[in-house]
Chain A
């Protein structure tokens, strides 16, 4: 099956700095890569996603890049704000089956 690795497990940045979270996957059949943000005690919510036929996608301060050859994708958050503090999960999806990374706890210090 698919194996998704996510790094780092924790990330602490100063407000205004950028944050980068990286994921690798093992199955070349995976074709959809969403990112979810989960605040403490709340449900995971989709923040951005990318499909295998696209290399990069941006939505305001958030961007995702995908390198199919190397089988890795990354989440980039610029100009971080305290409300960006949460756990972020990446996922690789093949045939409607979601394989999640282990999560990254992002702490943005004011």
Chain B
């Protein structure tokens, strides 16, 4: 079974631009969550989608948004990029039907804002 796949793996953007990151969950997983990882703030929850609906949201500004498609693939978007948005963005998927809410991470997308 293929793991969680994230694209692109690395990208560099300029302040003020926007960026879209993509995540394909493990086959059969319907929940996708996103996390921001930085050296200073650790792993912070952005949002979670289940069946195309945002089920949970973290404490990030409205510049951070996401969506989920009918095939469970998810995208997150960050508009008006700031230098502080430079981070590793991790996507994780889970399948509540398998007996728990264990999440499995993708390799992440490294975003650098210059």
Contact = CB atoms under 8 A, between A and B. Distances in A.
A71 B105 CA distance: 26
Interface in A61-79: none
B60 to A, nearest CB: 13
Name, among A36, A98, A101, the residue most crowded by chain B CB atoms within 10 Å (CB to CB). A98
Interface in A44-58: 44-46, 49, 51
A61 B35 CA distance: 29
Interface string B76-111: 000000000000001000101000111111111000
Contacts, number: 53
Interface stretch (B20-28, B38-46, B63-71): B38-46
B42 A101 contact: yes
A100 B42 CA distance: 8
B85 to A, nearest CB: 19
Nearest to B107: A43
Given A89-B43, A100-B42, A102-B42, A46 B102 contact: yes
